[in-house]
């Protein structure tokens, strides 16, 4: 069993120092709650809605943002998944990093960009199977729109992922509500895995976010949910509790 926390976060716009301070506060809160992993929203360090200003905030995976996240993880004992604008080889990506402050960080780059806004700013990465180990569990990462394509989740599940972490910036509206409340639990059920879908909240540039973050189990049930305000969620991830569900719904074996 591992305990994870999620921060449904109102960013301070492209003020990376303020956003990192908010993540640090949440990491300390997660440690106090006994959690060993904290998941934060899509581009939560740099903000999602900053537009062209985000390009000036882009950093490599070994830059100050990731180094600071690693320091926070090391100081608190809580591994962190956070979104940032990454530059690599002259290319700009919408990325998420996992760091525990000790091992080499794992970086995932969004493969399915949503709308003209993202396509103007970022380059889509080839679909990738980004996995890391956390307290004996195999964990994968996707970003927002990626999870809406069943092939992405299935690819990670077939590669051995037991849980997928999904930083997101889903906008407010009927579709955002449907994705969080219906689609994400189905993705968990049809692959018999855990999913943490962690959204921004409030207004950021031209965007108002749907919130409704959810930590969902292999049987499609919600372990923890958020509403329409900033929220801090914590849930216990106990794979053994879902052995019967997995034995009855053998999608991966029967594929």
Q: Is 42 a catalytic residue?
A: yes
Q: Is 144 a catalytic residue?
A: yes
Alpha-carbon gap, residue 13 to 27, rounded angstroms = 20
Residue 90 backbone phi and psi in degrees, to 5:
80, 5
Annotated catalytic residue, options 42, 59, 118, 148: 42
Annotated catalytic residue, options 110, 118, 130, 162: 110
Alpha-carbon gap, residue 49 to 185, rounded angstroms = 27
For 54-179, strand residue ranges (E) read 79-88, 91-99, 106-109, 131-134, 137-141, 163-168
Residue 222 backbone phi and psi in degrees, to 5:
-90, 120
Annotated catalytic residue, options 24, 59, 130, 144: 144
Whether 202 contacts 10, CB under 8 Å: yes
Q: Is 59 a catalytic residue?
A: no
Alpha-carbon gap, residue 123 to 141, rounded angstroms = 18
Q: Which residues are catalytic?
A: 42, 110, 144
């Amino acid at each position: 069993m591992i305990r994870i926390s999620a921060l449904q976060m109102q960013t301070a716009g492209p003020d990376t120092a303020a956003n990192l301070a908010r993540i640090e506060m949440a990491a300390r809160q997660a440690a106090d709650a006994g959690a060993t992993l904290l998941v934060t929203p899509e581009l939560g360090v740099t903000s999602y809605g900053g537009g062209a200003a985000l390009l000036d905030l882009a950093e490599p995976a070994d830059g100050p943002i990731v180094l600071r996240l690693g320091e926070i993880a090391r100081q608190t004992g809580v591994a962190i998944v956070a979104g940032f604008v990454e530059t690599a080889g002259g290319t700009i990506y919408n990325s998420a990093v996992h760091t525990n402050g000790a091992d080499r960080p794992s970086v995932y780059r969004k493969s399915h960009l949503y709308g003209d806004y993202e396509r103007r700013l970022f380059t889509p990465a080839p679909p990738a199977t980004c996995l890391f180990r956390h307290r004996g569990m195999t964990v994968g990462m996707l970003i927002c729109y990626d999870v809406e394509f069943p092939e992405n989740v299935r690819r990670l599940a077939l590669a051995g992922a037991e849980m997928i972490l999904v930083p997101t910036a889903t906008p407010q509206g009927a579709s955002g509500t449907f994705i969080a409340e219906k689609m994400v639990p189905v993705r968990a059920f049809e692959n018999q895995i855990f999913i943490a879908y962690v959204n921004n909240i409030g207004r950021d540039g031209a965007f108002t976010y749907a919130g409704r973050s959810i930590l969902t189990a292999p049987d499609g049930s919600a372990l923890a949910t958020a509403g329409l305000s900033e929220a801090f969620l914590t849930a216990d991830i106990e794979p053994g509790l879902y052995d019967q569900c997995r034995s009855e719904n053998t999608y991966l074996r029967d594929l």
